[in-house]
Amino acid sequence: MSTAAGAKPVLYHNDMSVCAAKVRMALAEKAVEYDGVHLNLRAGDAQKPDYVKLNPNQVVPTLVHADQVIIESNVICEYVDDAWPDAPLRPAAPADRARMRLWMRQLDEGVHAATGTISSCIAFRHQHLQRDPAELQAWLERMTDPARRERTRHAIELGVDAPEFAPAVRRFQKLLGDMDTALAGGAWLAGPTYSLADLAYAPYMTRLDHLGLAVLIDARPRVRDWAGRLFARPAYAQGIAAWFNPSYLEIFARERAAAGARVATIIAQSG
Ligand SMILES: N[C@@H](CCC(=O)N[C@@H](CS)C(=O)NCC(=O)O)C(=O)O
């Protein structure tokens, strides 16, 4: 299949990165073969000069295909759909396609940052706290985005007491409420057809589950049913579930009960 679009692509990614998982699922939907370069984010691989030349934002994923470097997971997903057009992942109807883009855009406009916050506050902080403090400090200093540096620092130092934690949980409450409304009007987020909008949210729904926030999904039968259909796709197994890192699953399992109690309080308070 990959030969249809010429050269075999190279994906710079990370097993547990939600943005990278999204792109792996898109590639799996298209049965595109690729060479993967796995980055160890905790070791600062995304900050190394050779990688920064490809991705100046110091993040995964990056797709290199036919000498072209494509960054930003949503952009990469659309690129994949353009470069391997069989089995389209974008709706044909213009209004559905516009809705698809609005869903994807929300990820860039707050939902991804909220995911980083809840992931770091509940789980990833425990990985960071085991690092050499000077090395951790240097890693934070090298982050080019000051907002990301600030919220990461708070998450590591304060956990679920970080000022960003409750707003991040509330952002997910709003998101899932909006999903519930959308799914009342069609089987998939952008309308009657499965699209990049659905695929893009698959790793985020998984992260909620891993972090003990599945209650937000389970409280909404339409969202629960949609997530079930999403998780049942072979591309989900191939692009996402196959990459679960056992050491991360162990941290999620250890930390999510305490976090669940805090989340329940935040949900109760926001009524
Ligand atoms: N807007 C970017 C966000 C990418 C992003 O934040 N990636 C995270 C992993 S999900 C990352 O690489 N973080 C770098 C690090 O933790 O060092 C995209 O959609 O590609």
Q: Could you give the number of structural domains in the chain? A: 2
Model pLDDT, residue 2:
45
Instruction: Give 161's DSSP letter.
Output: G
Distance separating the N- and C-terminal Cα atoms of the chain: 50
Model pLDDT, residue 271:
64
Position 49, amino acid? P
**What percentage of residues in the chain have a pLDDT greater than 90?**
92
Report which protein residue has its CA nearest ligand 1's atom 11: 59
Same domain, 235 and 102: yes
Report which protein residue has its CA nearest ligand 1's atom 1: 72
Q: Which residue, 62, 83, 104, sits at the end of a domain?
A: 83
Question: Using one digit for the tens of pLDDT, what is the confidence trace for 15-67?
Answer: 999 999 999 999 999 999 999 999 999 999 999 999 999 999 999 999 999 99
- Domain range for 14 is 2-83
Strands 10-13 and 35-38: parallel
- The low-confidence residues of the chain, meaning pLDDT below 70, are 1-5, 271
Model pLDDT, residue 235:
98
Q: Which residue, 56, 83, 110, sits at the end of a domain?
A: 83
Report which protein residue has its CA nearest ligand 1's atom 16: 41
Atom of ligand 1 nearest to the CA of 39: 12
Atom of ligand 1 nearest to the CA of 139: 17
Q: CATH number, domain at 27?
A: 3.40.30.10
Q: What separation in Å is there between the alpha carbon of 19 and the centre of ligand 1?
A: 6
Q: What separation in Å is there between the alpha carbon of 69 and the centre of ligand 1?
A: 16
Question: Using one digit for the tens of pLDDT, what is the confidence trace for 159-170?
Answer: 999 999 999 999
Sign of the Cα pseudo-torsion (18, 147, 46, 59, in order): positive
Model pLDDT, residue 3:
46
Model pLDDT, residue 259:
87
Q: Which residue, 23, 53, 83, sits at the end of a domain?
A: 83
Report which protein residue has its CA nearest ligand 1's atom 2: 72
Q: What separation in Å is there between the alpha carbon of 66 and the centre of ligand 1?
A: 23
